[in-house]
Each structure stands twice: as C-alpha cells, then as structure tokens.
Amino acid sequence: MLRSENPFIREDDGWVGHTLTVQGKVSAVRYEEENHMVGALDGIKVLDFTHVYSGPFCTLLLGDLGAEIIKVERTVGGDPIRTDAPRTEGMEGGTFIILNRGKKSITLNLGDEKGRDICRTLVKGVDVVVENFTPGTMDKLGLGSQDLCKLNPKLIYASVSAYGHTGPRRDDIGYDPVAQAMGGMTSVTGFPDTPTKCGVAMADFSSGLFTALAIVAALMHKSKTGEGQTIDISLQDCIWLLTSIEFSPYYFLEGRIPQRTGNGHPTMTPGSLYPAKDGSVIIATGVLGQIQRLFRLIGGEDLVNSPLCSQQSERIKYKTEIDALVAEWTKTRSMEEIVNQLKDIEVPCSMVPTFDQVCNDPQLLSREMIIEVEQTVSGKVKTPGSLFKLSKTPGDVKFPAPFLGEHNLEVYSGILGYTEQEIAQLVNAGII
C-alpha cells in the first residue's frame, strides 16, 4: 500500500530524516538508523557509477558487509531500472529496490565539466570506484582508471564489462544473455535439441559477485602495502569459468563436445528430475553410499551389486538405464511419499516447489532470507535478506533503497562542504 503520510519525513522505526528544500522541492533527504551493527567493511567508502544489474549487485554485497556506498546517478531518471516493472504502488522498481538497499544516492551530471570536477574531488576521499560502462566511456570523460588513480594513488578502481578491457571484443556491447552464450553456458544448458539461456541473470550476478570478491582482495592488499590497483572483470570470463569447471574436461581431455542433458546432471547419476504421480521430484546422489541406499530401496541387493552401482567413472556409462530405472519407481508414488522415503535413508531429494511456495519456505524465513524494508515512498516491501551469516560482523541489508538524489545534501554539504546556497545553484544549473 502506498504510504499516505508525508513520504519525506520519517521518525518511526529508529530512523530520523533531514531534508533540504530547493525552490519548494525536496532535493535531498538523509536517514540514519540508530544502533545498527558495524560491518566488516565499516569505514570503506565506495563511489558507485554502476547501473542495472552487474555493478549494483557488486556494490550491494559491499554495502551488505558494511561499506558506505555512494551511488552516482544521472540528474534525470537516474539508474535505468529505477521504475522497471514490476513496481510498487509508489512506482519504484522492485528489482531496483533489491539491488540498491542501503546505498546513498547523489545526482551528478558527468557530461558537464563542473560535474566532472566535482567527481574528481569526491574520488580523492573514497577507497573504491566501481563502474560498469562499456570500456572507454569513462576515459572519454577524463574519469578513467589512469586519470582517477593519479588523483588518488591508493584508489581501487573496478570495472565490469561484457568482454573486459583487453582483447578483440573489448569494444563490443553485450548483456547477460549474450555473455551466457559467449561464455559457453547456453551451449550446455537445455535439452539435446534446444539450447536454453539460464533463467537467472548468471553473467550479471556472477560478475558482480566476483568483482566484490576482487575488491575485498584489493582492500586486503592495500592494508598491507598502501597500494591501490585496477580491477577488470568480464561477464564472458565469469560465465566461462563457471561453465568450464564441469564441461571443459570433456573437450580438453577427451576431445568431445559436451552435450546438453536437460534436467540431468553431467556427471552425477542418478541425478535428475523424475516423475511422480502428482508432479516431479529432484533426486541428487553425490556419493556411492547414497546410491547404494537408493538402489537397495528400489531394487534390492541384486541392483546394489550390479555395474549400475559401481564407481562414477563406470556408472556414468549406464546413465540412461539408471534414470529409466529410477523413473519407473518414482512414477508410481506421490511426491510426498518419495521425499519421505528418501529422507529416511538420507538420500538428497526434494519436490519442485512453485515460486510462491519458495517465498513462504519456513527454512528461508527462519534464516531471515526474506525480510521487509521500509521504503520512503512505498512503505514496507519484501526483499531477500543477507546471506552473510558471520558471527561477529553479519551482513545487514535492512535498509531502504534511496530515491533519486536523496543524499545530495549529506554528500555535497557534509563531505564536500558546499553551502545550501551553492547546492541550490548546482541544482538550478543542472549539475546535480
């Protein structure tokens, strides 16, 4: 439900709001939560030029671990996914909220030299810069890694792009589906006659994850040496790494093109989606003991002592026969009956829940993986919780995503020392 009260001042739930009004418009709001837990990256300042998925996921993770994320957005519209559907009644994009919780939003016109000068000043006071533009974009603005690292030699400058900053495809534009294809994932996903893109934006989110990991490593190096460095992460590289672990040995060791196996696993057998009387179940046997217990249940000792229950290197030759044998057993039973029987003998198995069932899963709820954040305009919105369950410095994402320019006052006044009159002049000139 859209909040009916004034959306720009909130003093409930431990939050206090401060506003700056320029010519009758609210230009900035600052919210501070009392008594929040200090994260592992507390004190690290990140200037975030990213947009859409890959970069924002990287900085979300850094913010989850305690870093201060200052998200730099266009003066008009901001991040392109701010209002993407599905949206709240307050017209805030659901995915934008998830990827930008807890960040500070400032607006800055990098197309203007004054805006670029302000950016350079900001860079001198941060630890990390992250951007996910096409290679060369920031260089043309005079804000590339070489330019900014001269201003701040201890700066960690991270770039995420489709193909990276080197190589013959350096300048090519690419998005997640293209990277999935070019990294080999699409060729091994789907059924034998139909390649399929992964439903999740794996290239975007894996590159964001690996960039965050690289930044943490660079921060560790900096803590030892005082040196900054540049980071160059490619969506294609990330997908290739993930795909190659299981599938490249077929090609490099045996000279074979790996085949698509549908819902089956390339090396695990039994391991697939099997039919039940009232739906389907996933069975995944990772070790020989589990296979022996499963085969004993469905076929007795003769099956346990057959070649179908041998070591993986031999058993994989009988994959089609094994899957047929397991399916013959599962299709005569209900999903609940199968899951309960296999749980009793400690064989990994699950029904295939619908998405609404996942959203109400007691396991996820018990681990606070589904939480609510209080959006300034939209009120309470459900989002994923933090997966960082650290005993001393757990992740914390129970913060709202900012509205566009929400922290202009805090950053331009509090950090750069601009007066309200100077900020008003920058607003009127279209600089912020």
What residues are labeled active site?
A: 204
Q: How far apart are CA 100 and CA 81, in angstroms?
A: 11
- 247-265 b/e with 16+ CB inside 10 Å = b? beebeeeeeeebebbeebe
DSSP assignment of 307-351, as one string?
GGGS-HHHHGGGHHHHHHHHHHHHTTS-HHHHHHHHHHTT--EEE
Helix (H, G, I), strand (E, B) or coil at 22: strand
DSSP assignment of 218-284, as one string?
HHHHHHHH---EEEEEEHHHHHHHHHHHHHHHHHHHH--PPPP-TTS-SS-SSEEEEEETTEEEEEE
Phi–psi pair at 140, nearest 5 degrees:
-65, -25
Encoded tokens for 126: 């941060």
**174-178, Cβ contacts within 8 angstroms, sequence gap of 24 or more:** 174/235, 174/236, 175/203, 175/204, 176/53, 176/54, 176/201, 176/202, 176/203, 176/204, 176/235, 177/203
